[in-house]
Structure 1
Amino acid sequence: MKQLFTIALCSLPLIASAQHQFEINGEVGNHNSPARVYCVYAVGDRQVLDSANIANGAFTLRGNVPDVTMVWLMLDHAGTGYAQQTPYNSDVVGIYVYDEKMTVRSADSMKNIQPVGSPLNDEGQHFYRQLASWMEKTNAVNFEWQTMPPEKQADPAAKAAWKAKSEQVLKENVAAKTAYVREHPDAYFSLMALSELINDKQDPAVLEQLLGSLSARWRESNTGKGVAADIVALRKTATGNKAPDFTQPDKDGNPVSLAQFKGKYLLVDFWASWCTPCRQENPNVVKAYNRFHPKGFEVLGVSLDDARFRNAWLEAIESDKLAWKHVSDLKGWQNAAAKLFAVKSIPQNFLLSPDGTILAVNLRGEALEQQLEKLLGK
């Protein structure tokens, strides 16, 4: 369950409101002081850190959250302190909490614990098994393209066959996520499935109908309200609409606004230094920029790096030879521009006309150059 924490935070930001109390009673081996258990979770933009003594493997943690929340439980075996623990090298697990009193047990380590008698976490396990199967199909078709010999990638028939397969996989995944929502109207994780459908840029009218089909307790929850706001943002950033304006600082701290690019064809490219698919896509954007920049094409990179990764962001710009303007408020997934554009996953881009109308979304690989050829000529 360790992986789920990141997905939850990235997909469904919380809105502060009424609190729900949780209690976790743990039984992990026979650990004793100086070992200590840390509990870390996010409430909006704020990180909450709590801890508890552990005696004969037993500990208790209590807290308040505004909505269903994933918490990290970290076991500091040697009592070296929280500063020495990270999600990547410590004994850690992620579990969901809400209005529940639950027991978690493991014979040895925190990473192996299992919640006992927690319908919420049982539901989560079921949902993420489904999500893994959807992702497996997508990864398989992407891997097929990545490992295809260059000469075959250049063959129009092979390219068309792969594109048809890719579109079919997306269609199947969308149908499966939609079915999940319809079949689980009283499940918190239907909101997760809806967030996935927002990632897939599905019809906002259909998404609104699906959200309306959920039980009131989840539809009207903080997370439900967040999903509703994302659907509104998705509607506003659909092709044919004027892109919402925003201003963010560039790498030197100077304000840059979207309005500054009026009169140019502009690709608004959401990415981050730590995002491997983004870095893999960068050469395609560089190629398109070098070819069409003299004809009036611009790129504006919007980074979802946070303040910790500012240097990595600047190094990635240099390393990948990204010669265009770059901005970021360095708030990670809370980036204000990303929220305006309903960006829930990266890489993601929006091609704008000279008057700021959204012409296309998520042009990848050769698709960007092909679209620019239509607009600016060969």
Structure 2
Amino acid sequence: MRKIVSGLLMGLLFVGCAKQETTYTIQGEWKGGDGKVIYLKKDLGNKQYEVLDSAIVANGVFKMQKPLGDVDERILQIDGSTNIVILDSVPIQVKCENVKKTVRGKEKESVKIEISGSVEQDIFKTVLLAQRDEMMIMLGLSFMGKEGKENSGMVDSLAQIYIAMKAKTEKTIDSLVTNYPDCHASALIINNFVVKNKDLAEVERMYDGLTPRIKNAYLGRKLKATIDNIKKTSLGNVAPDFTLQAPDGKNVSLADFRGKYVLLDFWASWCGPCLREVPNVKKVYDKYHDKGFEILSVSLDDKKDNWTNAIEKYDLNWVHVSSLQGWDCPVAKLYNVSGVPAMLLIDKEGKIIATKLRGELLMEKVAEQFGE
């Protein structure tokens, strides 16, 4: 992976980013794929997609070409596989090949897909590959963790590999964004990856380095909107109000709790770290509830039964709401939640006075408000 990324970075230094023109072109070859349909889709969120274009493979080739509009990320669906591309004015070349492989003693056919295009494509692909490798190590850690203590040495080794790989990914992202400030992909990378892992100052530093052309383009404006939202939910600001439904169907608003200290708690029934945090949260609630402390938990579940069963199972006897839209929860997006658990402490006037609260820090911050 190191050689691949290093080589790509060196190669990209001599190439400019694509300028927006009037049309996009996606063309490809697929020997043996006649009759198959290639789809170009837009991710609408909440597992909903809009088909923007399609092409049928005929005589081993296919092609799509339409007005471009804004340069943005899109999904190229080929034989059920999802391939993220940046749609710009430089033709995207796709090569599909039917391959056979043996899985558990049975031969199966799949499609090998190679996608190439502009520098925008290459930059974003570099980050996606790095993220994929991180995910593979995380899966390995999860698997080894279930195997027991006898594999603790291997778990430690994988953990060190993951830490090193994550640091390398961050370095790669910083290098790409710094060297390609006039690329739409740089704005997309900051919005999709940097915002989740860095503080506001770092995000703004990277944004400030982008060229005016990219700042004024769609992905640049989208990144600016994200930054503005982060500022709205930063320390000292009034927490944005919202309304969601409780398990009984009644509407609950954050404004309903004005005059009390409120812990805004983002969690999910499927989140192991959230459930491990439950004893700390319950301890704080039991100690300070009668003194004017409330908890408003926003679940990122997408199935009501999972959500309500967890509330009952773990005896979470405070106020709960959810949009039941998973990661597409509008309130999670409003508060720029990219991981759970995520907890914010809000004072009686509705101002955010503490964030990133977990473990003993949660008890300390709440205790401070009550003079302890």
Q: Same fold (TM over 0.5)?
A: yes
Secondary structure at the aligned position of 1:107 is classed as strand
Q: Deviations over 1:7-39 (max 9, x none)?
A: xxxxxxxxxxx9964322222331233x43333
- CA distance in structure 2 between the partners assigned to 1:367 and 1:140 by the alignment: 31
Asked if residue 285 in structure 1 is aligned to residue 278 in structure 2, the reply is yes
Which residue pairs with 2:70 in the alignment?
Answer: 66
Tell me the residue number matched to 1:115.
115
Structure whose CA Rg is larger: 2
The answer to whether residue 30 in structure 2 is matched with residue 28 in structure 1 is: yes
Matches within 5 A, 1:138-157: none
Q: Where does 1:44-55 land on structure 2 (aligned, <5 Å)?
A: 47-49=49-51, 50-55=53-58
Aligned length in residues:
324
Tell me which amino acid in the other structure corresponds to 2:335: F
Partner of 2:294: 298
Aligned equivalents of 1:359, 1:252: Cα separation in 2: 30
The Cα of 1:103 is off from its aligned counterpart by 1.7
Cα distance per residue 1:228-264 (max 9 Å; x no partner): 1111121222222221222222233311111222333
**What TM-score, normalized by structure 2, do the two folds share?**
0.70
Deviates more, 1:360-369 or 1:167-176: 167-176
Q: Unpaired runs of 5+ in structure 2? A: 1-19, 100-109, 150-162
- CA gap 1:298/1:21 in 2 versus in 1, 3 angstroms: farther
One-letter code aligned to 1:200: N
Match of 1:104 in 2: 94
Q: Deviations over 1:135-157 (max 9, x none)?
A: 899999999999999xxxxxxxx
Name the CA distance, whole Å, in 2 between partners of 1:375 and 1:140: 42
Question: Structure 2: how far apart are the matches of 1:224 and 1:286?
Answer: 42
Contact 1:68 1:98 in 2 (8 A): yes
AA paired with 2:55?
A
Partners of 1:304 and 1:328 within 8 A in 2:
yes
Q: Give 2:266's aligned residue.
A: 270
2:336 aligns with 342
| In structure 1, C-alpha distance between the alignment counterparts of 2:91 and 2:197, rounded to whole Å | 35
SS in 2 for 1:61: strand
Aligned match of 1:351: 345
TM-score computed with the length of structure 1 as normaliser: 0.69
Distance 1:146 1:334 in 2: 30
2:247 matches 1:247? no
Q: Structure 1 residues 212 and 65 mapped into 2: Cα distance closer, same or farther (>3 Å)?
A: same
Matches within 5 A, 1:216-227: 216-227=212-223
Distance 1:142 1:92 in 2: 24
> 1:174-197: per-residue Cα shift (whole Å, max 9, x none)?
777555433321232322443333
Q: Give the match for residue 84 of structure 1.
A: none
Structure 1 residue runs without a partner (length 5+): 1-17, 76-89, 150-166
1:259 to 242, 255, 260: 255
CA RMSD of aligned residues (A): 4.1
Q: Are the aligned partners of 2:27 and 2:63 in contact in 1 as well (CA < 8 Å)?
A: yes
Contact 2:188 2:219 in 1 (8 A): no
Secondary structure at 1:326 match in 2 = strand
Superposition deviation, residue 209 in structure 1: 4.3
Tell me, in whole angstroms, the C-alpha distance in 1 between the residues paired with 2:93 and 2:267.
Answer: 39
Please identify, of 45-54 and 254-263, the stretch whose mean Cα deviation from structure 2 is larger. Answer: 45-54
